[in-house]
Amino acid sequence: MKNNLILIGFMGTGKTSLGKLLAEKLGRAFVDLDQKIEQDTGLSVPKIFELHGEKYFRELEKKAVAEISQRKNLVVATGGGTVQDEENLRLLKNSGMLVCLTTTPEEIFNRTERRGERPMLDSDNDRLKTIKELLAKRQKYYAQADYTIDTTDWSPLQIISDILKHFRG
């Protein structure tokens, strides 16, 4: 049954904060994929990257996607790179409506400026360049969403209202 609402998109686009609000509005459980991985392992995402690397993190992520894809009535916030894996993308699409949140590279830079929390950005001194490169690499996956919304200039309430219009049909 395809009834989950799944938020995809780059880090800093608002997946977690908007996902919590959407879950509340819909009266559904909220699952943040990164938080689920942290709970399952007892390690933070940056610590997983530090100790075991990205490949291991992606294996944990794949397992978590397979698990949540079996559940119903969820609002899910994925990690920024989750949908780069074709199997993850297929499972998520089969379990619900994919909504891609976007914003400008500059806004992502501003929203993710705290170091130590974003392993994919923290290893490079030119964060804006890294953001642009990762966005370009992931764009073809993000483009497979059922609906895309730019979170740059809208308030959370405007964004939620717009998403719910599309989700409820």
Whether residue 169 is contained in a domain is answered as: no
Whether residue 41 is contained in a domain is answered as: yes
Residue-range definition of the domain harbouring residue 95: 4-164
pTM of the predicted model, to two decimals? Answer: 0.92
Whether residue 85 is contained in a domain is answered as: yes
Q: What is the pLDDT of residue 164?
A: 95
Domains identified in the chain, total number? 1
- Give pairs for 104-108: CB < 8 Å, separation 24+: 104/152, 105/131, 105/132, 105/135, 107/12, 107/152, 108/10, 108/11, 108/12, 108/13, 108/135
Whether residue 154 is contained in a domain is answered as: yes
Q: What whole-number percentage of the chain has pLDDT above 90?
A: 81
Whether residue 116 is contained in a domain is answered as: yes
Span 8-66, pLDDT tens digits: 999 999 999 999 999 999 999 999 999 999 999 999 998 999 899 999 999 999 999 99
Q: What is the pLDDT of residue 117?
A: 61
Whether residue 122 is contained in a domain is answered as: yes
Span 74-124, pLDDT tens digits: 999 999 999 999 999 999 999 999 999 999 999 998 888 765 566 556 566
For residues 132-148, give the mean pLDDT.
95
CATH number, domain at 160? 3.40.50.300
How would residue 169 be classed by pLDDT, with cut points 50, 70 and 90?
Answer: low
The residue among 18, 22, 4 whose CA lies nearest residue 101 is 18
How would residue 138 be classed by pLDDT, with cut points 50, 70 and 90?
Answer: very high
For the chain, strand residue ranges (E) read: 4-9, 29-32, 74-77, 96-102, 147-150
For residues 132-152, give the mean pLDDT.
95
What token pair was written down for 94?
A: 């089969």
